[in-house]
Structure 1
């Protein structure tokens, strides 16, 4: 009898919902249509990619960034005003190839003064947990006092100084970290893989660079690298991403061009598009080069990709702490899941899905790590430290063999294993 009552209650709720829909009180279709119209701008040209993506070539002056009222009178900076000097005298161990193309480029190209934007389709919104927050990470909870390193007795040390990193719920990170007063840029060659996920609808895995500034509970962050994020992108491919946040992503920021922030200037590279080929265990290794740099003349933060190619920038007006410089730079990976920092732990892989001890050909690496300060000279950080939130699940290793060899940072792991139940 109890089961019958529950069934009748469910049927009543369904009929009530359908009645409200019919009476116009709830119109989900209109909500989705309005969001699609907001996200997808009119195209000058459309390209159907062989991997299922649709790329719209959008007038550079009609891109999503200009939905922001604060950028209404913004004049696009078409290229950076700076040139950086880099010391590449040290050799690197192991042969790896730079990824120079994206899948969609085999199907066409966008004309100059347009930018390629990956079209958001109805199925993308229907996958999302929230249409309103589509393209954003679920709100992060950051704590100053309740930190992972305080709980387990471990601390990060940089130049013999103890650094307490804040806990971010639902996120596990493995990083190379440097702390300084005036960083205005960072770069690295990021090894590309396709890690597996336990719950693709609710997890993602990245390999990336973070440029941060501000207090732990309201920090500002610029990020870029590759991400495997099925809930956002609809598949398990590694894709080029950017993300920015202010107030620790509580109120602002998003991935790629899914909110009014990042201004793209490049007509050849699409944010959110697949990166290929990817690396294989004991096989050919591939990498992408990511650089994030502040323009001292404009205070805009530029993203460069591949062989020093400018993609676009975050206007300095979006930020408070990052207007001057960055205090913290991180290189490495993260896994976002509701099943990190608990048992049973997710089996979501970070990096290649192998521990850092696997080294070249097995573990994910970031090499040619560099920072830049107001001297405009790219150089390896003077002081670095390594950190992993869950050292039994994901590990780190900074491999510095000699002064003649460029250090390589390795990170990653499988998640759940006998030491990480």
Structure 2
């Protein structure tokens, strides 16, 4: 039970009351409105009310960083609201070339377990038939200035490699890519906690499956983004866009896109433990698979949920992707210093020093598993590097990547 000096638990009812009574002038006075106009502030409040309309919260809890999660019935999540049919049964995970092998690393386990309690004594778990939805606050949205800016992967920006006005120097990559028609793919993602400070920077490691023009993406990995999640710990995230980040896309369950079906994993929740330099390495088994008209996400071979392929209209990802990509990315805004990527060490450091993806595979359009044949991409090699190679089980096709960042990355 909370002490008399500790703030009361932020119940869902109180949260919704606070949205209804919020006033732009109060946020301005508290210096939490950022550049948000009164009109945009009203649009944000409306968006949150609409996102949670009709939701029945069965249980709520805090994570270790103070983020609030609400357990809601699967059928009442934003992407299914008003849909009377149940989500389809998940297909088996995609077949693999060779046998998955944990190797010398420790697997990251699902975040929710009934034996975990928050500081109020609430169980950090959701019962079967419900999922955990990260609570979106007006303060978080207001920091981004507009509803659309809130949804963008790169706030106040556009696609890093296809910006119409020319090169964009606010993001950098150390990745490995292959152009190949595919129905998804797989890698073990080595999890680190790169040091990111300030609200306008992130560092991540992820998978991309992309195709078409304008480019369409589905993505999953971990991200350190204090300005969004209020923590310097790595967070599990997903993202999608149907038009090269221009007008579509959102993180996690923050719009009517992804349908979550599993109650053990938390999108927007922290991942632990992280890897130790020269010591224990941790990793997350991530796979995407287009089957039955849905892009299914698997973590540790557990089906987490799916993006309906209908999100992509008549675009490329409605039928298959054309490129696979794995590795790291950083983004900065209003900052002269680029954050570390991965472990903060260059790719040449190798095992236990540099970050990696390993056992990288894709699913060919005939549903056969294939080992990738990747080419490294380094947009700022003085700050971040990438080395793709192949080896025996359990590495197969793999990538070491990362670097310290710094002040001379663009």
Structure-2 residue corresponding to 1:75:
85
Structure-2 residue corresponding to 1:338:
333
2:158 is matched with which residue: 140, 144, 147?
140
2:75 is matched with which residue: 52, 55, 61?
61
How many residues in Structure 1 have an aligned counterpart in Structure 2?
Answer: 364
Contact 1:291 1:304 (C-alpha < 8 Å) held by counterparts: yes
Structure-2 residue corresponding to 1:311:
304
Shift of 1:60: 1.2
- Assess, with a 3 A threshold, how the Cα gap between structure 1 residues 104 and 348 changes in structure 2: closer, same or farther: farther
Shift of 1:33: 4.1
Structure-2 residue corresponding to 1:265:
261
Structure-2 residue corresponding to 1:101:
110
- Write the deviation string for residues 101-130 of structure 1: whole angstroms up to 9, x where unpaired: 327762322122211111123442343343
Q: Distance in 1 between matches of 2:302 and 2:218?
A: 18
Structure-1 residue corresponding to 2:399:
409
1:37 is matched with which residue: 30, 36, 49?
49
TM-score, scaled to structure 1: 0.78
- Assess, with a 3 A threshold, how the Cα gap between structure 1 residues 315 and 392 changes in structure 2: closer, same or farther: same
- Assess, with a 3 A threshold, how the Cα gap between structure 1 residues 281 and 249 changes in structure 2: closer, same or farther: same
Alignment of 1:293 with 2:289, yes or no, is yes
Alignment of 1:187 with 2:186, yes or no, is yes
- Assess, with a 3 A threshold, how the Cα gap between structure 1 residues 143 and 267 changes in structure 2: closer, same or farther: closer
Structure-2 residue corresponding to 1:208:
206
2:272 is matched with which residue: 276, 287, 297?
276
Structure-2 residue corresponding to 1:6:
none
2:218 is matched with which residue: 222, 234, 240?
222
Shift of 1:390: 1.1
Unmatched 5+ stretches in structure 2: 1-24, 30-36, 118-122
Q: Distance in 2 between matches of 1:301 and 1:99?
A: 22
Secondary structure of the 1:194 match is: coil
1:115 is matched with which residue: 91, 109, 131?
131
Shift of 1:77: 2.9
Structure-2 residue corresponding to 1:373:
364
TM-score, scaled to structure 2: 0.80
- Write the deviation string for residues 273-318 of structure 1: whole angstroms up to 9, x where unpaired: 00001011111110111111100xx221001112x00011001111
Which structure is larger by alpha-carbon Rg, 1 or 2? Answer: 1
- Assess, with a 3 A threshold, how the Cα gap between structure 1 residues 396 and 345 changes in structure 2: closer, same or farther: farther
Unmatched 5+ stretches in structure 1: 1-13, 19-24, 148-165
Secondary structure of the 1:292 match is: strand
Structure-1 residue corresponding to 2:15:
none
Contact 1:101 1:276 (C-alpha < 8 Å) held by counterparts: no
Alignment of 1:326-405 (within 5 A): 326-338=321-333, 346-381=337-372, 383-401=373-391
- Write the deviation string for residues 211-242 of structure 1: whole angstroms up to 9, x where unpaired: 00102xx1000000000011110111101000
- Assess, with a 3 A threshold, how the Cα gap between structure 1 residues 131 and 114 changes in structure 2: closer, same or farther: same
Structure-2 residue corresponding to 1:241:
237
- Assess, with a 3 A threshold, how the Cα gap between structure 1 residues 406 and 33 changes in structure 2: closer, same or farther: same
Q: Distance in 2 between matches of 1:48 and 1:270?
A: 12
Shift of 1:95: 1.7
Contact 1:351 1:412 (C-alpha < 8 Å) held by counterparts: yes
Structure-2 residue corresponding to 1:11:
none
Secondary structure of the 1:34 match is: helix
Structure-2 residue corresponding to 1:84:
94
Q: Distance in 1 between matches of 2:69 and 2:376?
A: 39
- Assess, with a 3 A threshold, how the Cα gap between structure 1 residues 189 and 386 changes in structure 2: closer, same or farther: same
- Assess, with a 3 A threshold, how the Cα gap between structure 1 residues 143 and 289 changes in structure 2: closer, same or farther: closer
Shift of 1:405: 5.4
